[in-house]
Amino acid sequence: MSRYGFFFDASACSGCKTCQAACKDKNGLGVGVLWRRVYEVQGGAWRKEGGLWRPAVFAYNVSVACNHCEEPICRTVCPTAAVIQREDGIVTIDRALCIGCRYCEWACPYGALQFDEPQGRMTKCDFCPDELEAGRPPVCVAACPMRALDFGEVEELRAKHGATAAIVPLPKPEVTKPALVIKPHRDAARAEAEGAEVANWEEI
Amino acid sequence: MARREWPLVAFTLLGQTAVGAFWLTAVPLAFAGRSAADLGGLSLGFAVYGGIAGLLGMAAASSFFHLGRPWRAVRALNNLGSSWLSREIFGELVFLVLTAGLALIEWIRPGGTARAGVLRAAVLVTGASGLLFFYGMIRLYMLRTVPAWRDAHTPVSFLVTSLILGALASALFLRLTGSRLEGVGFPTIRSLALIAFAGMVAGLAVSVFLTPQVGIFGARIATLLAPPKRKIVPFVVARGLLLAVSGSAILMYSARLKIAPDATVNPLLWLAVAGGLAAELAGRRLFYALYSRVGI
């Protein structure tokens, strides 16, 4: 069976965070728990051109949830075997098994696993299985006003959009082999070459 | 470091102290080859194994405070096939149960572990389970997504902690139980003091040379979440100063033991133990402060 994956168009994302809000609303997530997060990436500086200083800055946004990796490190490290990968690639957490040790939170390079303090256990994006069963897209995809998010069978997404899954600030895809396809922002190459920072850590 | 990591600080320090103390006292005790009377019988054998089991029990208890759902902790053994955290916990439990079993045997039959070959084998098996526990502790932190922990600093600093705290705890313990073991093939309190001192010198060297981000040969972590040097340096400095204080005290105590081997528990030993413990607390806080994963 093919695996589900997300597509993210960084060149289209305006950073409105509707995806984040829709996910939070649909799943009733508490304060501080974000299954989908929008990272504001910025870099560059003033550049001297002759006798003139010109701003040569850049900024773009990256919307990330769990990438339902081919090699999910969260599943490997979980001591209770609470992290499960379905045949369709979706990675979920068995609520009954999780003991809230937060080891998966340390390990996941996407920050996908989020601790729910009142419940004392880990939570994460489950790809909205109820929406899929009803023939609808995950709510983050459906909510995006810029159509910057999409989903589907990951091989189809790669055939349509290319196989890129790397963009600053995400880790190298070799680490966990995410089911993610990205259309990079025009300044993504500059961010990679010159370095960039996340401007909104306080929000995420 | 988040407050939630204090239970892990306690767990790892107590666990590493127990492993160090077992290999520095329990193993030599079992192979000292003398009668129960020579070894102090029940007072020493039971006290050594019982004391180490107590440390392990406290370590296990402290780990519960780290969990969101501690009443389900038994499930932590579900994933022995792939999770080093499961394996570490398994190793800790086996080590605890076997050490407690040895304490029970000593209580029922004082000196038994010093005579019977079977029981000596049991001590070795227990020691091996301690090593499994220790190895699991190292491996679980060496995550491939956490470069500051996936570094030589992790195993070396854990080993140094085992040496320092294991030797200090053993020296204090044997002194408090009134052991008279010199000359029966068992480490003397002075030799334990010198082992602790050697560990402290090694600890200082690890801080200077291997600490990620700031050590001369330490790994340089370039992740977005890498902690700034200002969050690391205070712990390195505090640990260094405390090791210097503790090392001086244990060296002076060792010199005093050379003059008067039967000296009772001395303020210098207490100072060395307090300084060593504080130094390793600072070192472990440093270890958790180093956490930064690749990516976001």
A151 touches chain B (CB under 8 A): no
Q: What tens digit of pLDDT does each residue of B30-64 get?
A: 776 555 455 555 566 788 889 999 999 999 999 99
Q: Which of B108, B141, B174 is the last residue of a domain?
A: B141
A170 in a structural domain: yes
Distance between CA B109 and CA B112 in Å, rounded?
A: 6
Q: What is the pLDDT of residue B35?
A: 55
B220 in a structural domain: yes
Mean pLDDT of chain A: 95
Contact B296 A198 (CB under 8 A): yes
A203 in a structural domain: no
- Among B5, B62, B75, B225, pick the best mutation site for testing chain A contact (most A Cβ within 10 A): B75
Q: Two tokens at B283?
A: 């070192």
A170 touches chain B (CB under 8 A): yes
Q: What is the pLDDT of residue B264?
A: 65
The percentage of chain B sitting over the pLDDT mark of 90, rounded to a whole number, equals: 63
Contact B83 A77 (CB under 8 A): yes
Q: Which of B141, B172, B202 is the last residue of a domain?
A: B141
A15 in a structural domain: yes
Q: What tens digit of pLDDT does each residue of B140-162 get?
A: 999 999 999 999 999 999 999 99
Residues B110 and B157 in one domain: no
Q: Two tokens at A146?
A: 């810029």
Residues B160 and B293 in one domain: yes
Q: What is the mean pLDDT of residues B15-32?
A: 89
Residues B111 and B193 in one domain: no
Range of the domain at B185: 151-296
Q: Given a cut of 80, is residue B217 above it in pLDDT?
A: yes
Please give the tally of structural domains in chain A: 1
B131 in a structural domain: yes
B246 in a structural domain: yes
**What residues of A are in contact with residue B85 (Cβ under 8 Å)?**
77, 79, 101, 103
- The residue written with tokens 């001297």 in the block is A48
For residue B118, the tally of other CB atoms under 10 A from its CB is 9
Contact A120 B69 (CB under 8 A): yes
Contact A79 B76 (CB under 8 A): yes
A30 in a structural domain: yes
- Helix B153-176 crosses helix B267-289 at what angle (to 10 degrees)? 160
Residues B132 and B245 in one domain: no
Distances (CA, A) of A155 to A2, A141, A159, B85: 8, 18, 6, 34
For residue B70, the tally of other CB atoms under 10 A from its CB is 14
B119 in a structural domain: yes
The DSSP bridge partners found for residue A149 are A8
Strand residues in chain A grouped as ranges (E): 4-9, 37-49, 52-64, 83-85, 91-93, 114-116, 121-123, 149-153, 180-183, 197-198
A84 touches chain B (CB under 8 A): no
Contact B76 A101 (CB under 8 A): yes
Search chain B and give the residue with CA nearest A66: B296
Please give the tally of structural domains in chain B: 2
Q: Two tokens at B225?
A: 């979440």
For residue B132, the tally of other CB atoms under 10 A from its CB is 18
Residues B132 and B173 in one domain: no
Range of the domain at A10: 4-198
Residues B50 and B132 in one domain: yes
Q: What is the pLDDT of residue B158?
A: 98
A156 in a structural domain: yes
A24 in a structural domain: yes
Q: Two tokens at B64?
A: 């519960």
- Say which amino acid occupies A34: L
A204 in a structural domain: no
Q: Which CATH number belongs to the domain containing residue A166 in this structure?
A: 3.30.70.20
Residue segments in chain A with a per-residue pLDDT below the cut of 70: 1
CB-side neighbour CA atoms (13 Å) of B263: 20
Kindly tell me the burial class for residue B171, based on how many C-beta atoms sit within 10 Å of its own C-beta (0-12, 13-18, 19 or more): buried
Q: What tens digit of pLDDT does each residue of B108-150 get?
A: 876 655 566 777 888 899 999 999 999 999 999 999 999 999 9
Cis peptide before A129 (omega within 30 of 0): no
Q: What tens digit of pLDDT does each residue of B153-193 get?
A: 999 999 999 999 999 999 888 888 776 555 555 667 888 99
Residues B260 and B228 in one domain: yes
A47 in a structural domain: yes
**What residues of B are in contact with residue A64 (Cβ under 8 Å)?**
296
Q: What is the pLDDT of residue B112?
A: 58
- How many angstroms separate the CA of residue B119 from the nearest CA in chain A? 33
Q: Of B233, B196, B244, B228, nearest to B211 (Cα)?
A: B233
Q: What is the pLDDT of residue B259?
A: 81
> Is the Cβ–Cβ distance between B96 and B89 less than 8 Å?
no
Cβ-proximal residues to B169 (8 Å cutoff; 6+ apart), any chain: B17, B20, B21, B51, B55, B273
DSSP B75: G
